[in-house]
Structure formats: C-alpha cells, structure tokens
Structure 1
Amino acid sequence: MPDISQLSINTATVRARYSLPEILEAVARNGIPAASPWRDQIAETGLAETSRQIRDLGLKVSGVCRGGMFPANTQEGLAAALDDNRRAVDEAAELNADCLVLVCGGLPEGSRDLAAARAQVRDGIAALNDYARPAGVKLAIEPLHPMYCGDRSVVSTLGQALDLCDEIGGGVGVAADIYHIWWDPELEAQIARAGKDRIHAWHICDFKRETKDLLLDRGMMGDGVADIAMVRGWVEAQGYTGFHEVEIFSKDDWWTRDIDEVLQTCIARHREVS
C-alpha cells in the first residue's frame, strides 16, 4: 500500500484558485513531502523566491513542468525552443528537481509531416541533453495520449519515448503518466524495457469513462477506468522508488474545490487505490 512519504503534488492539480506560494504552503501543511511546479508559476513567483520557499518548507521537487515543444517551421523557431529549454534546465537545477519533464511538441502550424516533427524532437532533446548532463538534470520524455499528437506531442507511446532514449542515450529517460499510457497493450513490456534507470517520473490520476473534455477533465484516482495499482506494480517491479506525482487537470470539479479538501483526497486515494 502506498505511503504519504511517496506522494508528490503536481501544482496543476490545484492551480486554478491558488498561487504557487499558497500551493507549496498547503502541500507542506498537509504533510506531503514533495511538489512539482510549472514554469509559468515559477516565473510569476520568481525562481529565487520559489527555491527559498521550497527549502524553508523542507519540500522536495519531483519534477519541473515542463520543457519540450521542440518542433518549429523555421531555424529561428527551433533555436528559440532550444534556448527556452536550456532555461528550463537551469530552473530544474536550481530547484534540485528529480527531473525536467519534456512534453515534446506537436506538428508545427500548417504541417502534416509527422516524421519531420519527430526528427526535430529527437534532435532537440539530444542537443538539450548536452546542456542538461553537466548541470545534473535528468530529462524525462513524457509520451502523451495519441489524441494530443497534433498540438502537444508527436510522441504517443512509451515505446516511442524509449526509442528516443535508445537513440539519444546519455541518461535520458521517461515520465510515465497513467492518464496517457494506461490503454497501451504493450505497456507492461515497455515498462520492463525502461527498467529502473530510465523511469524518471511516475504520474497518477485517472481516465474517466465518459470524459467531458480531453484536456481538462481528468479524474481523481479511483474515479475512472485505469488500473493504477497494477501499472504501479509494473513500475515498482523495475526498482522505481521515486515519487508518485498526482497531476489532475479538472476545470469543472477538482479545480473548483478548496485546496485542503483536494490534497486530503489525494492523500486518501493515493493510499487506497493507487
């Protein structure tokens, strides 16, 4: 049975009504040991202030969300994406994050060339890893459900993400998010292929049977159809001992609730069904 010492809260779970300082304070107040902040929230608060508050509260950082978004129509666009990703590495290093999560990016506007976009993702991650490794920052490729291939990620399966890891090497790994990968018939085999050294993050929520919004209607653990505990068992069988990071986008439900209610529910559901 999972323990609260393994729990982390991705700040997207409660960001609709609360600032990053308020979220971090609530995470600590509820006895949760870690959080994963988003870069726009870090920028709004200030990197130095965010780092100070995390240290003062005694929190750990399971990941920084997010780098990636590599594909572009021009060389200038590709260069700008890489520059922004280097800044993301700097932020992850300052916060001593377990990893920088990469949402790789979809097709550039007007393009139908999936192969070219995937090549840009590969080249972008390889170049970024040359910058991240000396900084001690692990890059975690997060495959997204195929419904996001057009606008958010041309990397849709754990197998595709691991193919990139094989090509790039250098310690690049994956972020396994149950919302995006629960459906994959090759999932158990691909988790075994990832092994201990390449699973850098484990994200949990639930996939609702009748979702109202493909982006903003994720379920709390236990409210959907994903067998979270089974997949966690596969992940932990590989030797993964990192945080279980709750990441819920829920505009009409969990985002409307009091932060302590949400966090207490996360604690209970993590223990009972995750």
Structure 2
Amino acid sequence: MQVDGLSINLATIREQCGFAEAVDICMAHGITAIAPWRDQVAAAGLDEAVRIVKANGLKLTGLCRGGFFPAVDAVGRQKAIDDNKRAVDEAAALGADCLVLVVGGLPGSSKDLATARRMVTDGIAATLSHARAAGVPLAIEPLHPMYAGDRSCVNTLGQALDICEELGEGVGVAIDVYHVWWDPDLAAQIVRAGRMKRILAHHICDWLVPTKDMLTDRGMMGDGVIDLKGIRRLVEAAGFHGAQEVEIFSADNWWKRPAKEVIATCVERFHSCCQA
C-alpha cells in the first residue's frame, strides 16, 4: 500500500545500502518519495540515478546538499559557487523539488558571524540566476545554533527568511524540526514563511534527551521531545502540504539496524506520531 505524505531522506539508511537498494526498500514499503544526497547519487552515477528515479516514478522532495559558501578568500568562495551550480544541475536532472542548502559556518579561524552570513547571502545570490534558469528552487535549511561555527551560520527560520526577502523569488526554506523546534519565535516565523510562500520542504526526526552526539544522535519520531504534530499543524496552516521527509543521522542506533526495519519503523511512526 502506498504511503502518501511520507518521504525518506536517504541519509536515514546511508550506512546500510546504496542508492538503488535504498529505492527498492522504500518502494517495497509503499514509499514513492525520497531525498538523496549528492554523494549517494555520485556513487550510483547521475545517469543511473536518473534512470532509477524515472523507472520507478519517484518524487524527489529535495537533493542534499548545496551550500558551504563562506571561505577564507575569493578563490574559495568562487569554488563553492561553482560547486553549487553543479548541484543545481544534478537536482534539475533528477527532477528534485529543491536543492537543500546547508550554508556553511565560520571560515578558517574567523569569529565574525556577520561577515560569514554576508558571504552566505552573496553566495546564494551568485548561484540564483543559474538555479532560476534550471527551474530548481534553493531551500535554505537553518541549522541548530550548535552548528554555527562549522556547518551553518544561519540558525533560525527568521534569519533564513530574511535572506529570502533580500534575494527574491527562487529561494525558500527547508523546515527541519531537529534544528528549529526550540525557537521561541518558530510559530510566528512559520506564519511569515507561509505568507511569503517560501516553505519548500519539511524534515522530521526527534530530539533525544540526552543527546549524545551533536551530529549523529538524532531520534526516530516519537522517541524524543519534539512536538511533531504541533509543528506539522503550523506548517500546514501556513499552506505547505508536501511530504514530511524523515532524515535521521543515528550512528549508534538506526544506522546499525537492518534498513528494512528502519524504513518499516519510519512508516509506523509517521502514522502514529507525525500527522496533524
């Protein structure tokens, strides 16, 4: 039976299988929407990945990831822009709904967050005309503040929407509950995102207490403290009714379990914990 409204970010089973096997497992569980990572696509080969997507009638809720714009010099910044344009081309070939941007943190030994954020905005701006021509929206994914130094200096939905306002059409946001659930301004910013029509993706997992690793200890939905249904209600009230995309990095738990078990659990938890 097809599971409507659920997408699997293939990072969720990245340690167990490659692109083709992951697709087969998702399809066997009635899931026809996925979000692969660029390294997974590259390992399969872009042409083969496109063939698999088309042969199975898959919907791609996003391609992960572009971004990492800040750099210590102009050469590094241009290298990032060039790579983001390649990522746009890959997303276009795969028919992805958006290219997800993890924008990057402080370059080198810098402590200047304001300048890093300016580099992010300028880098997205330099990529945007290429993305518009390819028909690929760019989805800024604000990350939890614990990643401000190394992975993303855009840490709230409000900051991401400020960039969207500055740059105009073709840029939106990916709302990942893991990164934004704590924000006291979240409800108001989701309303703002809806008013701007900038919600491009909705990612789900859970925040474990305690969290043992900053990157690879995300929880399965229902195992933590995030109000998944409440956030989904806000997202839908703001006008986004696209799939909820499960993205779980879990080195000591879910990445060690059989992929079929993980996906079956995702389906069960989606029905029991996530639907508004």
TM class by smaller structure: over 0.9
SS of residue paired to 2:173: strand
- What stretches of structure 1 of length at least 5 have no aligned partner? none
**2:236 pairs with 1:236:** yes
Contact 1:176 1:201 in 2 (8 A): yes
Give the letter for the 2:207 counterpart. Answer: F
Contact 1:104 1:155 in 2 (8 A): yes
Q: Deviations over 1:58-114 (max 9, x none)?
A: 211000000000000111101100000000000000011010000000001111111
- Alignment correspondent of 2:7: 8
Displacement of 1:239: 1.3
- Alignment correspondent of 1:131: 130
- Alignment correspondent of 1:267: 267
- Alignment correspondent of 1:160: 159
Counterpart Cα distance in 1 of 2:264 and 2:43: 26
Root-mean-square deviation over aligned CA pairs = 0.9
Task: Please list every run of at least 4 consecutive aligned residues from structure 1 whose deviation after the TM superposition is greater than 4 angstroms.
Answer: none
**2:121 pairs with 1:122:** yes
Contact 2:64 2:99 in 1 (8 A): yes
| Aligned residue runs from structure 1 range 7-46, under 5 A | 7-46=6-45
- Alignment correspondent of 2:254: 254
Counterpart Cα distance in 1 of 2:137 and 2:25: 27
Give the letter for the 2:233 counterpart. Answer: G
**2:214 pairs with 1:201:** no
Displacement of 1:6: 0.5
- What stretches of structure 2 of length at least 5 have no aligned partner? none
Q: Deviations over 1:188-240 (max 9, x none)?
A: 00000001620000000000111111110000000000001000000000111
Counterpart Cα distance in 1 of 2:220 and 2:95: 28
Counterpart Cα distance in 2 of 1:222 and 1:199: 24
Displacement of 1:175: 0.2
Contact 2:12 2:249 in 1 (8 A): yes
Displacement of 1:171: 2.7
- Pairs aligned (count): 272
Displacement of 1:21: 1.1
**Is 50-59 or 62-71 further displaced after alignment?**
50-59
Counterpart Cα distance in 2 of 1:120 and 1:112: 14
- Alignment correspondent of 2:108: 109
Counterpart Cα distance in 1 of 2:128 and 2:215: 29
Contact 2:60 2:94 in 1 (8 A): yes
Displacement of 1:4: 2.2
Displacement of 1:116: 0.9
Instruction: Calculate the TM-score normalised by the size of structure 1.
Output: 0.98
Q: Deviations over 1:117-143 (max 9, x none)?
A: 100000011111111001100100000
